[in-house]
Amino acid sequence: MKRIIAAAVLTVAMSVQAQNNNGGISAEMLDEIRNGYSDTPAEKAVRNALAGQSIAVLAVNADNAAMIDTHFSNRVLTKGITDQKSSGRCWLFTGLNVLRAKMIAKHDLGEFTFSQNYVSFYDLLEKSNLFLQAMIDNSKSDITDRKVDWLFQNPIGDGGQFTGVSNLIMKYGVVPSDVMPETYQSNNTSEMRAVLSKKLRQFGLELRGMKTADAIKRKTEMLTEIYGILAKCLGVPPTSFEWTRYDSKGNFVSRKTYAPKDFYNEFVGQDLENNYIMVMNDPSRDYYRTYEIEYDRHVYDGDNWVYVNLPVERIKEMAIASIKDSTAMYFSCDVRKFANTSKGTLDLANMDYESLFDTDFPMDKKQRIQTYASGSSHAMTLIAVDLDDRGNPVKWMVENSWGASSGYKGNLIMTDEWFNEYMFRLVLEKKYVPSDILDVMKKKPVMLPSWDPMFLPEE
């Protein structure tokens, strides 16, 4: 017994000695760490496999290899799949896909798409103005100020969220995709973003050293130069165009000349700025509160991102009501988590990281948000739900913007359990929102800083 006690005391003493080094890894601690690893044949087999294959492939759960049932009890009619290519415009594709589904159903069209490139042009021009005006507004603050520092770090990008869809379309309208088609630069935006960022940072520094009246005049000259860069990369957006309309059977209906705003008013006509609200499931913050994110907008004189934070069960109720009424929704989530891209499924059982690494990952959704382990990263169009006999959701489907060959026929199917853990945002028409939630939306929002990691632009 004395020997056992002595050995135990020695072990504790060695452990204390190993860590008594001001927080660094001492030689004794390293020996303890090494001795704690057992290089068994099973461990070696995993190590050999990981040396030649990706973690995502090796973590695939073979017991979950069968395809999820693709039947859905309720589904919104859509036609065609879009492809954002190598750009961060998922928010824009998603918003336009929601409106496209409405237009196709309302006017009996065949496959139809709006020009993402047209709205992208004005998005980047407006974001440039937002940055430059913010430089003028904060010119008295030191360059090391947290807000100024954030602005210089993030002068422009092609990511965004739904208020960009609403403000831009209500201001500039829309055009069909064949009127202003995609270009190489619109499909591959990284180089163009780098040029714009470099130019805006230069302009921002210049504006900080000017008097306000002079800076406002100079800003117009700067935006003229930005417009020229955009025109070279994306083309010149039309102020009017001729469009021939055909029905779903290919029959000629009409030919007419439109201005972009008139085209939107005739074929969609919704007030996007007042007819929709955004809801969020973020358990790290209080529910039934309204939040606003500073500088999280696309248009300087437009709207910041404002949302109501709700339990996921309330969000599901509204989503089901919208789908049952054949209305698609803007939806965003942490899309890469437990994703089987070849099948097109989002399922917590898709991956078995625990068995692969002989460990566990017990954090819940709140803890993942608080520790930067999860956050919304991608927007898609929610179009379907499968309900059981009691009306409870079993699975959901979103229309993605990664091309028709990706996922399940261009879509992704998620289990309801995955929805609970990795769904974050949904944009709904107000008619599907209960009065108690609309009342919460009327309250003054809590202002959150633009650099909060939960509100990075969706790409």
Model confidence pLDDT, tens digit, residues 111-153: 899 999 999 999 999 999 999 999 999 999 999 999 999 999 9
Closest CA to 94 of 333, 284, 299: 333
Q: How far apart are CA 75 and CA 385, in angstroms?
A: 7
Q: How many CB atoms neighbour CB 131 within 10 A?
A: 24
**Can you tell me the distance from the alpha carbon of 318 to that of 426, in angstroms, rounded to the nearest whole number?**
10
Closest CA to 110 of 246, 243, 266: 246
pLDDT digits (tens, 9 = 90+) for 65-81: 899 999 999 999 899 99
**Which active-site residues does the annotation give?**
90, 378, 400
pLDDT tens-place string over residues 405-417: 999 999 999 999 9
Q: How far out from the chain centre does Cα 45 lie?
A: 38
361-372 tens-digit pLDDT: 999 999 999 999
Q: Extract the tokens encoding 288.
A: 């039934």
CATH of domain 74-455: 3.90.70.10
pLDDT higher than 50, residue 2: no
Residue 109 buriedness (CB in 10 A; 0-12 / 13-18 / 19+): middle
Q: Amino acid letter at 197?
A: S
Mean pLDDT of the chain: 93
372: left (phi over 0), alpha (psi -120 to 50) or beta: left
Segment 213-235, tens digit of pLDDT: 999 999 999 999 999 999 999 99
8 Å CB contact between 301 and 343: no
Separation of alpha carbons 278 and 76, rounded Å: 20
